[in-house]
Structure 1
Amino acid sequence: MRINVVFSGVFHEVMGTIELVVELRDGSTVRDLVNKLIEINGRVKEMLLSDDGSLRQECLIIINGRDIHWLRGLDTELHSDDKVLIAHRVFLA
C-alpha cells in the first residue's frame, strides 16, 4: 500500500523533501512507517523515538487530520493512500 508522508520543519530538512510516498505491506502500522523512514535516513530515529522506542513528546504524527495520540499511537494501523504529517509540536504551536 502507498502512504503519503508530509514532513514539516526540521523533518523536511533532514529528509531532503517535503513529501514522500512510502510503500508498505497491508496491515502496516505507524511503527512500520517510522521504521521504513529510519531505513531511508537513520537520523530520523533519534528525532522521532525515545530510547524506549516510544514517540518523543515533542513529535507529532497526524494521520488524515487525526493525532495518533488519540488513536493507537505507534500501533495505529495505516491504510492505502493515508496522508501522514510528521512535525515537531512547537512547529504547529
Structure 2
Amino acid sequence: MIYFATMIQRMVSNRDFYREAAIKIPRPRFIVLYNGTKEMPDFWTINLSDNFMGEDEETSLQLTVEEYNINNECITERCSYALMSPARGRRFARYVL
C-alpha cells in the first residue's frame, strides 16, 4: 500500500490533490510472490482488514492481496525468463510490484 501511495504521489501534482474534481488513478492490483519454505497452496488471497484491531468495528478500507507460491514448478518455468536476466527482471518487477 505504501508503494502504491508513493506511485500516485509521483503521478499527480500536489495542487491536483486540492481540486474539486475527482482525479482518475490506475486501478491497483496487489500481488505477493511467496518463495518461503513452508508448504503452501499455489494461490491464496489475504485481506488487510483481517489484521485490523477491533473485530466488531466496521471497516472503511479493504485491500485484497493475491499471493502466488513461486516454488511451484509451473509458475517457476513461466517466470524463469525474468529471473535469468537482471535487465528483464527489473522490467518485470516494475509491473509486478
In which range does the TM-score fall when normalised by the shorter chain? under 0.3
Tell me which protein shows more helix as a share of its residues.
2
| Higher strand residue share | 1
Larger Rg: 2
TM-score normalized with structure 1 length: 0.22
- For CA contacts below 8 A with separation 6 or more, give which structure has more relative contact order: 1
TM (normalized to structure 2)?
A: 0.21
